[in-house]
């Protein structure tokens, strides 16, 4: 049967598939629009099966805070090539997943995938559909949330890196400070909020390395422990957020910057996702 350009365009607008893929699906479905959508979805499943072992190291990371500033979401959707990642349609897809997560507050990636994307597809189904459309493996690789009195999101240009910061105050000055700290997290990649958040294995490793270095430098064994502890404190200063030198004024730590901005202001939690 004859398939009109308007029908092809309608299917293309709904699915994002190429013109020829849409036309072929409509021809195979004898003009049945819903059946054509299913055909495209099945194509996505076949492509997904074929590309399951492929490396999906490109993609986009997007962070966003809710309209009331009380919660935030950051997630990463990986693909195989930067050609796909730089497509406007791909950005819109990832952004729509963030909005769904913000609205529904799923507890995990699997819970997010099970949510409705629209009236017909789940999030998982939509991703599978887009695998067929784009011809690449897609992987919802990372997802996390923060809830706080104020949540601030930062997206680094290019959307390969994004951060969320939660603060214990909802004031306007706290929000501005949060933006600066969110950029600090992006630039300095702290491993924890403070030394209490550093896991025991990391601490043990730093102490052992510190001792070994001290001995290699010719220091007496009985001094090695003290030297290692001093190096551990420096490690905390360089790698935990509140103790780091504030990048916009390295005479202050991040903790000092916050309390000079607003009395008692501090970061309660942060997240950082990067594709590189």
For residue 176, what pLDDT is reported?
96
Q: What are phi and psi of 271, to 5 degrees?
A: -135, 145
* DSSP designation for 1: -
Report residue 10 CA to chain centroid gap: 32
For residue 44, what pLDDT is reported?
67
For residue 1, what pLDDT is reported?
62
For residue 50, what pLDDT is reported?
59
d(CA 86, CA 91): 7
C-beta of residue 162 within 8 angstroms of C-beta of residue 156: yes
The architecture of the domain spanning 5-50 is Orthogonal Bundle (1.10)
- How far CA 114 is from CA of 13, 106, 123, 273, in Å, comes to 24, 9, 6, 22
3-class SS of residue 191: coil
C-beta of residue 65 within 8 angstroms of C-beta of residue 48: no
* DSSP designation for 214: H
Q: What are phi and psi of 144, to 5 degrees?
A: -155, 160
pTM across the whole model: 0.79
* DSSP designation for 276: -
CATH code linked to domain 58-193+264-274? 3.30.479.20
Residue ranges covered by each domain of the chain:
5-50, 58-193+264-274
For residue 53, what pLDDT is reported?
59
Contacts 24+ apart (CB under 8 A), 247-254: 247/183, 247/184, 247/187, 247/188, 248/180, 254/181, 254/184
Walk along the chain (276 residues) and give the pLDDT tens digit of each residue. Answer: 677 888 878 877 777 777 788 788 888 888 888 888 777 777 766 665 556 556 778 999 999 999 999 999 999 999 999 999 999 999 999 999 999 999 999 999 999 999 999 988 899 999 988 888 888 889 999 999 999 999 999 999 999 999 999 999 999 999 999 999 999 999 999 999 999 999 999 999 998 888 888 888 888 777 888 888 889 999 999 999 999 999 999 999 999 999 999 999 999 999 999 997
């Amino acid at each position: 049967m004859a398939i009109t350009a308007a029908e092809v365009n309608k299917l293309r607008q709904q699915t994002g598939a190429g013109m020829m893929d849409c036309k072929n699906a409509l021809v195979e479905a004898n003009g049945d629009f819903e059946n054509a959508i299913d055909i495209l979805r099945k194509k996505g499943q076949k492509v997904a099966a074929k590309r399951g072992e492929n490396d999906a190291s490109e993609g986009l990371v997007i962070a966003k805070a809710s309209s009331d500033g009380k919660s935030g979401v950051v997630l990463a959707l990986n693909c195989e090539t930067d050609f796909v990642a730089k497509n406007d349609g791909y950005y819109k897809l990832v952004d729509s997943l963030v909005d769904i997560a913000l609205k529904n507050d799923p507890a995990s990636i699997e819970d997010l995938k099970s949510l409705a994307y629209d009236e017909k597809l789940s999030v998982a189904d939509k991703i599978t559909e887009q695998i067929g459309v784009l011809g690449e493996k897609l992987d919802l690789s990372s997802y996390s949330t923060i809830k706080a009195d104020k949540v601030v999101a930062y997206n680094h240009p290019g959307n390969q890196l994004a951060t969320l910061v939660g603060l214990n105050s909802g004031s306007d000055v706290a929000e501005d400070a949060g933006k600066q700290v969110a950029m600090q997290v992006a630039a300095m990649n702290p491993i924890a909020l403070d030394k209490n958040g550093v896991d025991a294995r990391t601490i043990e490793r730093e102490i052992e390395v510190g001792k070994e270095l001290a001995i290699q430098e010719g220091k007496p064994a009985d001094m090695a422990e003290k030297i290692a502890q001093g190096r551990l404190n420096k490690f905390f200063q360089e790698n935990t957020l509140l103790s780091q030198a504030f990048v916009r004024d390295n005479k202050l730590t991040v903790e000092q910057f916050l309390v000079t901005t607003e009395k008692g202001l501090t970061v309660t939690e942060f997240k950082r996702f990067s594709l590189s």
